[in-house]
Structure 1
């Protein structure tokens, strides 16, 4: 028996960590929606309505069902920043396409992110981490962890994999911030996207003439890929490869410095992978949700979602579902617990569109966090916790800086 549509909730806000009870929690409006049920109506900032899907089982169902489209070119796909639809649709990456085109483009880089391939990179990642810590600590007792460690480590790793010169990092990091910021004017977003595509396209052209052992060289050499498509894939991997892990490293460190009793689990090689999974579950930095549109009528948790209606699948609330992560003792989900079994979390999404780079992200987080607290056992915040800054203007939750001392 399907339910009739409920009145839409007030406009879905851009996720603002400053309005949360705790800056590490999902936005309050999303938690309120989850309390109302796993599928609720909401009004988007532009005035359109969509379905908020907040429950764990329901989010997995949406993300694994071919009846829900991720194609950015569909006019009903819900976006929290609707003014950017034309920009995104003009140069869609495979993440925002459906099969078979999504699968065709994704397969071209899948081999570079297989678990076996990433495991072979661990010694190199370890060296990058240790070198970054050497530089950060040399002759000093304090630093901005974001600028000195959290951002440089994943930036250098993805540059090496892609074949992007690391000395260009300030250029692409600035453009990435413009693309991800909700405060950026539409014209600035369009210009930043074009500048990045031109940069990567020129780099791919050079690699076509002088190929190296990197992803961009392999993409540039393909006859079944246009130069523009190669640049789009490079853009997706470059941004996702450094922004997400950098923010996870900063947030994880800030969170753990306020909970020192939990840090010891990072020193146990057997417990380290599970601890990182709990951090991924608890923080879930993609607060804005994954947009989908129903291609046909679908019943979800007793609610009929009609063809052409938009859906936002909220990973952050799904990862706080007590039925899945509460455990037999119903441990509170608003508190991180590094001993929790969080392996089923959805921080990387689910289904065919789930994050391609998750093996790399896991390896970087495990290596970087373990080394950070091993090398700096006296690490502490250099400012009061209430003075820490969190990004309130971005599609990916994070911190612009993290002052620490040791």
Structure 2
């Protein structure tokens, strides 16, 4: 069993914001206890999967290791109990692709998969470049200083995914606020209560209220798109069918929520992390400006470096063996993506940011049946943004101390103050 202090560290939102405590804990575990059980205070026990190869092994066996039987994200015993009481026995407050297993997972994924295939995304490239240019212009107009995370990176991918969904620009601030409340529930600067130490009841009520606001909004979108279908993702969801029947209400609302949140928050975290890295590394910035062919490897390295999704949970559907350890049917497993992306057996000098890292087998998008459906859109957005910005920015440096959000599920930079010169 993993020691109590390490177990508590790897689930602590503040430790993830500080980064170093979690990195040190995972480094120790990869070396000494690469696949072992932990029971952080207040949580049910679970296996901690820290090695790159083991994360891939679990993810490729999606019939043996399910997403939906237990909570798909780390949750305390008390929260799990309360959610099950609210949801009629289900451990999920939403049921999106993330919480589904086959046959539902594949059936629901097919509804929108075509939207996110590379060949279909090409038609969006010109529009995404136009949007990127707007935000590069905005940065240029800010007089040489800005908080890149809060002023630029938050809004660029938000605007892209809201256009894909068909959400009006006027509603984007609402979508951003709800996303921050959902993913930043432990962070007093982002959560709905504004409290540093919110009570258990406050936390559950706040998340429930946020989900309720999403549902109210997307109920209206559904009604509109059924009456007036358009060429947007919301119309695909509103009018989609599974086995000849319309999507049930809960599944449809969950589909909207995952698209409206994960569709931009992870990308903004990654772009912010990339800017933070460049502002600290003037030689890398100079190389990247002089050699645009480095943009793709730089982008993959920022994805590895940021790893915005910190974990997903799986549960064993039968007895199994992982890294020589016997896993019992029903056991809970935590896939630790930041640890996999720092695995010394896979990445040379894993704690060094290398803009030309090749190969780069980063696993921040997941693997197997549940690999991120929006990965190609995210890569396209990031590539285009850096192409447009690097043409016009001449210098970049930090103008204060960056800060990460306090969260153990999805997190990244919430503040990256920079000083720069632009054309």
Residue in 2 aligned with 1:396? 410
Q: In structure 2, what is the equivalent of residue 202 of structure 1?
A: 220
Contact 1:130–1:371 (Cα < 8 Å) also in 2: yes
| Number of residue pairs aligned between Structure 1 and Structure 2 | 388
Contiguous gaps of at least 5 residues in structure 2: 192-202
| Structure 2 partner of 1:141 | 144
Partner of 1:311, secondary structure, is strand
Output the CA distance in 1 between the equivalents of 2:121 and 2:395: 31
Shift of residue 285, structure 1, vs aligned partner: 1.6
> Residue 196 of structure 2 aligns with which residue?
none
Q: Deviation at 1:177?
A: 1.2
Given the alignment, which residue of 398, 401, 409 partners 1:381?
Answer: 398
Tell me: CA distance 1:29–1:207, structure 2 relative to 1, closer, same or farther (3 Å). Answer: same
* Pairs within 5 Å for 1:180-259: 180-183=183-186, 184=191, 185-223=203-241, 224=245, 225-259=247-281
Q: Is the 8 A contact 1:14 1:80 kept in 2?
A: no
Identify the residue that residue 64 of structure 2 maps to in structure 1: 67
Q: Aligned equivalents of 1:118 and 1:261: distance in 2?
A: 33
Equivalence for 1:300: 322
Q: Which runs of 5+ in 1 are unaligned?
A: 327-331
Q: Deviations over 1:142-190 (max 9, x none)?
A: 2221233101110110011011112111212111111112425110001
Equivalent position to 1:57, from 49, 53, 60: 53
1:14 counterpart residue number: 12
Q: For the residues of structure 1 that align with 2:175 and 2:2, how far apart are their CA atoms?
A: 44
SS at match of 2:353: coil
Equivalences for residues 71-150 of structure 1 within 5 A: 71=68, 73-74=69-70, 79-85=74-80, 86=83, 89-138=92-141, 140-150=143-153
**Closer, same or farther: CA 134–342 of 1 in aligned 2, 3 Å:** same
Indicate how the Cα distance of structure 1 residues 272 and 81 shifts in structure 2: closer, same or farther if over 3 A, else same: farther
1:323 aligns with 2:345: yes
SS across alignment from 1:177: helix
Match of 2:194 in 1: none
Cα separation, 1, equivalents of 2:2 and 2:182: 34
The equivalent residue for 1:350 is 367
User: Is the 8 Å Cα contact of residues 133 and 372 (structure 1) preserved in structure 2?
Assistant: yes
Counterpart of 1:365?
A: 382
Do 2:16 and 2:407's aligned partners in 1 also have CA atoms closer than 8 Å? no
Structure 1 residues 278 and 97 mapped into 2: Cα distance closer, same or farther (>3 Å)? same
Deviation string 1:256-282 (CA, Å, 9 cap, x unpaired) is 110121122365343221221122112
Q: Distance in 2 between matches of 1:267 and 1:157?
A: 28
1:374 Cα deviation from its structure 2 partner: 2.5
Gap change, CA 1:146 and 1:19, over 3 Å in 2: closer
| SS of alignment partner, residue 159 of structure 2 | helix
Using the alignment, how far apart are the partners of 2:218 and 2:54 within structure 1? 38
**What is the root-mean-square deviation in Å for CA atoms of aligned residues?**
2.2
* CA 47–229 in structure 1, closer or farther in 2 if over 3 Å, else same: closer
Change (3 A) 1:215 1:58: same
Contact kept in structure 1, 2:95 and 2:250, CA below 8 Å:
no
Residues 1:228 and 1:257: Cα distance change in structure 2 (over 3 Å):
same
| Residue aligning to 1:329 | none
Task: Please give the alpha-carbon distance, in whole angstroms, between the structure 2 residues aligned to 1:392 and 1:380.
Answer: 24
User: Which stretch shows the higher mean deviation, 180-189 or 82-91?
Assistant: 82-91
Which residue pairs with 2:195 in the alignment?
A: none
Partner SS for 1:338: coil
Cα deviations across residues 213-241 of structure 1 (Å, max 9, x unaligned)?
10101221234323442221111011011
Change (3 A) 1:78 1:90: closer
The 8 Å contact of residues 70 and 96 in structure 1, kept in 2 or not, is answered as yes
- Where does residue 298 of structure 2 map in the other structure? 275
- Normalised TM-score (structure 1): 0.89
1:20–1:240 CA distance, 2 compared to 1 (3 A): closer
